[in-house]
């Protein structure tokens, strides 16, 4: 038997919440003296941060795990961890299915990784899935990007959408206080980060669980107040937030976004279905009319705002006509992007045991038809950028064409243009858009403003 080096590898599935958790867990491992290993087979600690939103996401984990579990028979000191939403959902059942596992830990336990690993190194097999009060971060996250950063503002979800596992696996809403959020963003600003994305499964619920009520009787700490509170953090040039829930989305928030220059004109507001009856059975708490009103109000304040969303097709009992109402909504609104999914029955959710489940054929046919429309509409939206000069925050080199860099417009469109990543990374560059595809743009840097921006950059540093 060989002794494995103190190296770790993390494989992350699922949403931005999981990505943010993985970055924090990587920070804890680095703090414990572990080093990143690009090759999982060279790592002594392998952590799968899992997602259970749909069955196919969950199955992926089992196939990956099987391979590493086999390796453990030759390398007994290999430590195998399953974290995230499948860990929370399956708990001890995971140990029965994969006895080689050392640690099964739910998302609320991410910040406790060091303690839990200590118990593993003491010779225990550990399951940590009980509901806990989430500890404030004590370790610095090991972030993937040096330009853009996730900042959790609220954990959990108190909604009960009838198709969704998230409340079961992420627990109840827990908001972080405005001051710890601001402190984290100030630190990011000092480190040279330019953009933050505030994260919550239902970000409009931010602050509901914090103490304090205003004289008018509303919660003292709301997402809107938080945006005003963090807006002047030095160094941070752009602020985004996700995910918005149409049930709680307010005009006050829209006004704040229009007023605050750093808040980008991009809104991610899932509608799930364009049919009122289906929305009711999903327990979403709004109608398609309310959804349209929200989008109209956003566009009154910010005519060029980008709108993205999530949608589900083939919810139990969805008729062809109800599905066509979803197509109608997508066609009318003109989304910049829609993440689409075929309904997948999830354990422990009400809709999973309803009788009127649709066949896989119907679901995949509807998914294809919706995707087709989504990409036509996205392409129309991309076209509006042609010839315009957009501000792009440069993030990385284009992996397919090393002569190009990749960044995003304020509306969150991926944009490629010729340039040297070493020179441009983390800079806001004015780019003239010369070509478009459904979900991305190509352009060229407008030279005078590159110089101007660099000068501005220098003056702020002085």
Name the site residues for ligand SAH (rule: CB under 6 A): 53-54, 163-164, 166, 201-202, 243, 245, 270, 272, 310, 312, 341, 343-344, 346
63 token code pair: 């196939």
- Three-state DSSP at 392 gives strand
Within 13 A of 153's CA, how many CA atoms are on the CB side?
33
Q: 40-59: which residues touch ligand F3S (CB under 6 A)?
A: 51-53
- Among 83, 91, 125, CA closest to 108: 83
Q: Which of these segments, 13-21, 133-141, 326-334, 388-396, binds ligand F3S (CB under 6 A)?
A: 13-21
Q: Which string of x and - marks every residue 154-193 that binds ligand SF4 (by CB under 6 A)?
A: ---x-x-x--x-xx--------------------------
Select from ligand F3S, ligand SAH, ligand SF4, none the partner in contact with residue 85, using the beta carbon and a kind-dependent cut-off of 5 to 8 Å: ligand F3S
Q: Which residue has the tokens 């129309």?
A: 380
Q: Which string of x and - marks every residue 75-104 that binds ligand F3S (by CB under 6 A)?
A: ---------xx-------------------
Q: How far is the CB of 459 from ligand SAH (least distance, A)?
A: 41
Q: How far is the CB of 60 from ligand SAH (least distance, A)?
A: 15
Beta bridge partners of 302: none
Instruction: Say what the alpha-carbon torsion angle 228, 230, 232, 236 is, to the nearest 10 degrees.
Output: -130
Is-cis flag, bond preceding 243, omega within 30?
Answer: yes
Residue 50: CB atoms within 10 Å = 29
14 binds ligand F3S (CB under 6 A): yes
Residue 355: CB atoms within 10 Å = 6
- Among 290, 298, 388, CA closest to 335: 298
Nearer to ligand F3S, 240 or 427 (CB): 240
Q: How far is the CB of 447 from ligand F3S (least distance, A)?
A: 42
Q: Are strands 79-83 and 337-342 parallel, antiparallel or unpaired?
A: unpaired
Cβ atoms of 104 and 91 within 8 Å: the answer is: yes
Select from ligand SAH, ligand SF4, ligand F3S, none the partner in contact with residue 445, using the beta carbon and a kind-dependent cut-off of 5 to 8 Å: none
- Three-state DSSP at 217 gives coil
Select from ligand SF4, ligand SAH, ligand F3S, none the partner in contact with residue 310, using the beta carbon and a kind-dependent cut-off of 5 to 8 Å: ligand SAH
The site for ligand F3S (CB under 6 A) is made up of: 14-15, 17-18, 51-53, 84-85, 165-166, 169-170
The site for ligand SF4 (CB under 6 A) is made up of: 157, 159, 161, 164, 166-167, 201-202, 245
């Amino acid at each position: 038997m060989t002794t494995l080096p103190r190296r770790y590898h993390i494989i992350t599935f699922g949403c931005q919440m999981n990505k943010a958790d993985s970055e924090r867990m990587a920070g804890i491992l680095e703090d414990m003296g572990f080093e990143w290993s690009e090759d999982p087979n060279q790592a002594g600690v392998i952590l799968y941060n899992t997602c259970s939103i749909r069955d196919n996401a969950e199955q992926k984990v089992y196939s990956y795990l099987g391979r590493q579990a086999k390796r453990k028979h030759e390398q007994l000191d290999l430590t195998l961890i399953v974290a995230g939403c499948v860990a929370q959902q399956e708990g001890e059942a995971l140990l029965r299915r994969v006895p080689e596992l050392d640690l099964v830990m739910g998302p609320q336990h991410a910040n406790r990784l060091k303690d839990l690993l200590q118990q593993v190194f003491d010779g225990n097999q550990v399951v940590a899935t009980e509901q806990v009060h989430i500890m404030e971060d004590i370790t610095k996250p090991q972030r993937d990007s040096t330009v853009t950063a996730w900042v959790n503002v609220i954990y959990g979800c108190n909604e009960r959408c009838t198709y969704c596992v998230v409340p079961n696996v992420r627990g109840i809403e827990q908001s972080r206080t405005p001051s710890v959020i601001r402190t984290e963003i100030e630190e990011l600003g000092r480190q040279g980060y330019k953009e933050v994305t505030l994260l919550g499964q239902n970000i409009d619920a931010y602050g509901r669980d914090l103490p304090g009520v205003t004289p008018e009787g509303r919660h003292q700490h709301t997402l809107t107040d938080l945006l005003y509170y963090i807006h002047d953090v030095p160094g941070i040039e752009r602020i985004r937030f996700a995910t918005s829930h149409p049930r709680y989305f307010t005009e006050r928030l829209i006004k704040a976004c229009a007023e605050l220059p750093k808040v980008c004109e991009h809104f991610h507001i899932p509608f799930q279905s364009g049919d009122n009856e289906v929305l009711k059975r999903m327990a979403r708490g709004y109608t398609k009319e309310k959804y349209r009103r929200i989008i109209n109000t956003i566009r009154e304040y910010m005519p060029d705002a980008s709108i993205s969303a999530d949608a589900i097709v083939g919810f139990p009992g969805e008729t062809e006509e109800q599905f066509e109402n979803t197509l109608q909504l997508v066609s009318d609104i003109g989304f910049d992007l829609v993440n689409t999914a075929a309904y997948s029955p999830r354990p422990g959710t009400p809709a999973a045991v309803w009788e009127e489940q649709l066949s896989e054929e119907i679901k995949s046919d509807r998914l294809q038809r919706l995707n087709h429309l989504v990409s036509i509409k996205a392409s129309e939206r991309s076209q509006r950028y042609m010839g315009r000069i957009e501000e792009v925050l440069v993030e990385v080199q284009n992996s397919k064409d090393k002569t190009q860099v990749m960044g995003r417009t304020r509306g969150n469109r991926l944009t490629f243009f010729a340039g040297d990543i070493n020179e441009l990374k983390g800079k806001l560059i004015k780019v003239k858009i010369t070509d478009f595809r459904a979900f991305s743009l190509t352009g060229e840097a407008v030279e005078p403003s590159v110089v101007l921006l660099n000068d501005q950059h220098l003056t702020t540093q002085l």
